[in-house]
Amino acid sequence: MTTILLEEAGPMLADLAKRVENGETIVVARDGKPVLDLVPHRPDETQRCTGIDWDAAYAYLRANGLDDPFPFVADDFDDPLPEDFLLRPLP
């Protein structure tokens, strides 16, 4: 691991990038204190998410004793709320 001063890093950025591409980690310091690390880029794992793995979700539920994620949904679940719903005080 190489340490380089911030003032020196600017003009050498292309060279430092090549060294990092080859796997080297470079510590950039200001006033002798490390400020940042130059490391090789790693692709973001969340970018490759293709959606929900429903099979895994249901397997998890079954393993924890749940056969149905929605065991009960009231018949009036999606009916409109009364007009004064938010105006009434709670009981």
Q: What confidence tens digit (pLDDT) does each residue in 23-66 have?
A: 899 999 999 899 999 998 877 766 666 788 888 888 999 999 88
Query: Which pLDDT score, from 0 to 100, does residue 73 have?
Result: 87
d(CA 43, CA 66): 35
Establish if 71 belongs to a structural domain.
no
Q: Within its chain, how far is the Cα of 6 from the centroid?
A: 29
Find the mean pLDDT for residues 3-29: 91
Domain range enclosing 33:
2-38
Q: pTM for this one?
A: 0.47
CATH number assigned to the domain comprising residue 24: 3.40.1620
**What CA–CA distance (Å, rounded) separates 91 from 86?**
13
In a domain, 31, yes or no: yes
pLDDT score, position 82: 82
